Amino acid sequence: MKKIIAGNWKMYGARSMAEALCREVVGCADGLDVQVVICPPAVLLAQVSALLAGSKHVKSGGQTCHTQAEGAYTGDISAAMVKDAGATYVILGHSERRRDHFETDSAIRQAAALALQTGLIPIICVGESEDERKSGKALDVVGQQVRDCLPEAAGIHDFVLAYEPVWAIGSGATPTTDDIAAMHAHILSVASERTGKEKAAIPTLYGGSVKAANAREIMQTAGVSGVLVGGASLKADEFCRIISAAV
Ligand code: PGA
């Protein structure tokens, strides 16, 4: 399976920086056997998709989409709109959405089902809090999130999972590679059982404080098929070094 390197710009960026950053990322990714995904804020999605249109290995993705196909939901974005803006992927259930927008596992499952029907590939995020890790509940909590966030029909579609321990996001801290391997093995078993898909066909990314210095070791860890990168995806040099670490 090709490694997936997804960059989540979060609420950063502007039209002027999007152009330069996309050009540099395409320049470094297109010679490599990787799948890169750039997930800019919604207002930049159509522009980024257009900038990536000629790229072989770089696609765009949204950062979220709604549980409903359309309606009176001011400020929200539907799966069809994300698709219409040219995206291939959509991140769902990021811990910042769970925290700030009270997204629940069942809402994430609904949005994922709609995204799949719309022809998007959801990148479904799961991960434990620091307390849950310290109290030895991480595997149980994350396994349950995977069960609850994956639509039953997901097995007939492409989807991606992302293990992002909440305490590792933006903190500089990462789990040990043994802990990452144990979690990915667990996630793959649960996801395979839930969807009927073979483990080898379920891309499972690690996210949380990934940078050029740790990307290779993380991507060589058993069960890790790529990374979801926040802060380091906003710096072309650093993101390109992460992409190169995948091959
Ligand atoms: P980070 O964020 O790489 O800045 O830790 C990862 C994420 O939130 O997806």
pLDDT at 153: 86
pLDDT digits (tens, 9 = 90+) for 132-181: 999 999 999 999 999 999 998 888 999 999 999 999 999 999 999 999 99
- pLDDT-based confidence at 32, cuts 50/70/90? very high
Active site (annotated) includes residue 184? no
CA of 182 to the centre of ligand 1 (A): 20
In the structure, which protein residues have their CB atom closer than 6 angstroms to any atom of ligand 1? 8, 164, 169-170, 207-210, 228-232
Q: Which two tokens stand for residue 50?
A: 């257009």
pLDDT digits (tens, 9 = 90+) for 34-82: 999 999 999 999 999 999 999 999 999 999 999 999 999 999 999 999 9
Choosing from 161, 209, 214 the residue with most ligand 1 atoms within 8 A of its CB, the one to mutate for a pocket test is 209
Nearest CA to ligand 1 atom 9: 230
pLDDT at 152: 86
How much of the chain, in percent, has pLDDT values that exceed 90? 98
Longest alpha-carbon distance in the chain: 48
Active site (annotated) includes residue 164? yes
Choosing from 210, 219, 234, 242 the residue with most ligand 1 atoms within 8 A of its CB, the one to mutate for a pocket test is 210
Nearest CA to ligand 1 atom 3: 230
Set 57, 164, 186, 238: catalytic member: 164
Nearest CA to ligand 1 atom 1: 230
pLDDT at 193: 96
Residue 222 DSSP one-character state: T
Set 94, 157, 184, 186: catalytic member: 94
What's the rounded Cα separation, in Å, for the pair 93 and 103? 7
pLDDT digits (tens, 9 = 90+) for 215-234: 999 999 999 999 999 999 99
Residue 19 has pLDDT above 90, yes or no: yes
Atom in ligand 1 nearest the alpha carbon of residue 8: 9
Which alpha helices (H) appear in the chain, and where do they start and end? 15-29, 45-51, 79-84, 95-101, 105-118, 130-134, 138-149, 177-195, 212-219, 236-244
Atom in ligand 1 nearest the alpha carbon of residue 231: 4
What's the rounded Cα separation, in Å, for the pair 122 and 203? 11
CA of 8 to the centre of ligand 1 (A): 7
Within a 10 A sphere around the Cβ of 53, how many other Cβ atoms? 10
**What average pLDDT does the structure give for the chain?**
97
The torsion defined by the Cα of 54, 57, 60 and 66, in degrees rounded to 10, comes to 130
